[in-house]
A and B are shown apart, each in its own frame.
Chain A
Amino acid sequence: MHRFANPARFLKIARPLTLWLFWPGLMLILIGAVCGLLVTPADYLQGQTVRILYIHVPAAWLGMGGWTGIALAALMQLVWRHPLAAIAGRAIAAPGALFTAICLATGSIWGRPTWGTWWEWDGRMTSMLVLLFLYLGYIALANASARDGQGGVSSVTAIFGLVGAVNIPIINRSVVWWNSLHQGPSITMRGSTIETALLWPLGLTLLGFSLWFGAIVLMRMRAILAQNKVEARMQRLARG
């Protein structure tokens, strides 16, 4: 990984990779969303309402995946002092928070017609809301402890990212450990309880949103690196 510690080498790969993630990702999202809305049959119990699944599940996956990425980046930053890890952590935080918010919003909209409530304080919903607050705390901490010319997050922020990872298995297990209004996991190691006829567009949107997430993170990392460069040049100019 230290091969990519050199920003020039990283950028050489990141620039084309951004495009390769962005456009196929967008295509998959569009195909998946259109098929999920128009092609797949309605659910036997929920009817048309089930179609929000194709957005809700990828959003939940990326909200949790984003924090896993933050924790891995934090580990690389704290242990191996990888210079890009601090920047990656910061780049992941905003899209991760956004997808967590989308997950909560779509879940709420889905809950009203199916369960009969916008919001309940059950284990899954509460732990997911905690994840959103963790993201906001992480972003605030990163901004508050940022130093000029270093776009990455501080060590304190990285430690916070590592500690916050405790919440990820709790979200995952919340519907198994505790009685909850949210149903249990549909897709497990043993297979899926979503019938294939309803499942396949979810695969498309899951992959599509994941690629897109990668593209957004790369774009943000490049923006932070560019910002660092500008900052360094300004400081050289100021010194005359």
Chain B
Amino acid sequence: MKAKHQRLMLALVALAAIVGAGLLAASALKDEAAYFYAPADVEAKGVEPGRAIRLGGMVVKGSLKRAADGVTIRFDVTDGKATVPATFSGIAPDLFKEGSGVVAEGAFDNQGTFVATNLLAKHDERYMPRELEGMQYNETTHQLKVKP
């Protein structure tokens, strides 16, 4: 074996070992490095009231209601598997709306309602002109169609 090939083998083995270690670490971090809890995670693991967490998901359509004081809003957060009621007092970001993504910082109260102290809007990976809004996006064919 030539010295060049020895070095190549050494570099490749070392690289494979490092990448393997990196991927193992990353997958072990899967839960710890998650930026937020989804409602299904909350249901599965149980988060004790008062513990500061982030809750992320979609704002359920039709669930957003403004309280009589004008600054408090109530809405439901869902990930398709579980739904959690949430409340927030303050100024929500512009992109926060029904049917859109949200990441809320706060804690659960004793009744199981998530009391948010801060709201962040999470948008998805789709970008399109205003004219195309309301058209339906097909995940498999990547085609836009007018909603029936």
Contacts and interface: CB of A to CB of B under 8 A. Distances in A.
B128 A44 contact: yes
A31 interface: no
Interface in A7-45: 40-45
Interface stretch (B27-35, B69-77, B107-115): B27-35
A121 B26 CA distance: 16
Contacts of B142: 190-193
Interface residues of B, number: 47
Contacts of A45: 95, 100, 123
A121 to B, nearest CB: 8
A80 B127 contact: no
Contacts of B126: 186, 193-194
A156 interface: no
**Most A CB within 10 A of own CB, among B36, B103, B125, B137:** B125
B119 interface: yes
B interface majority secondary structure = mixed
Nearest to A113: B94
B127 to A, nearest CB: 4
A186 B127 contact: yes
B127 A198 contact: yes
Interface in B123-141: 123-133, 137
Contact of B124 (A170, A184, A190): A184
Contacts of B80: none
A181 B102 CA distance: 9
A158 to B, nearest CB: 10
Contacts of A192: 142
Contact of B129 (A42, A79, A163, A170): A42
Interface in B32-67: 33-38, 56
Residue of B15, B19, B26, B35 with most chain A CB atoms under a 10 A cut-off? B35
B26 A177 contact: yes
A203 interface: no
A193 B33 contact: no
B35 A122 contact: yes
B4 A123 contact: no
Contacts of B127: 43, 46, 50, 53, 186, 193-195, 198-199
Interface of B: 4, 7-8, 11, 14-15, 18-19, 21-23, 26-27, 29-30, 33-38, 56, 92-96, 100, 103, 119-133, 137, 142, 144
24 contacts: A40-B129, A44-B132, A44-B133, A46-B123, A50-B127, A78-B7, A79-B4, A79-B7, A115-B122, A115-B123, A116-B96, A117-B120, A165-B15, A166-B18, A167-B22, A177-B30, A178-B30, A179-B56, A181-B35, A183-B122, A184-B125, A190-B142, A195-B132, A197-B128
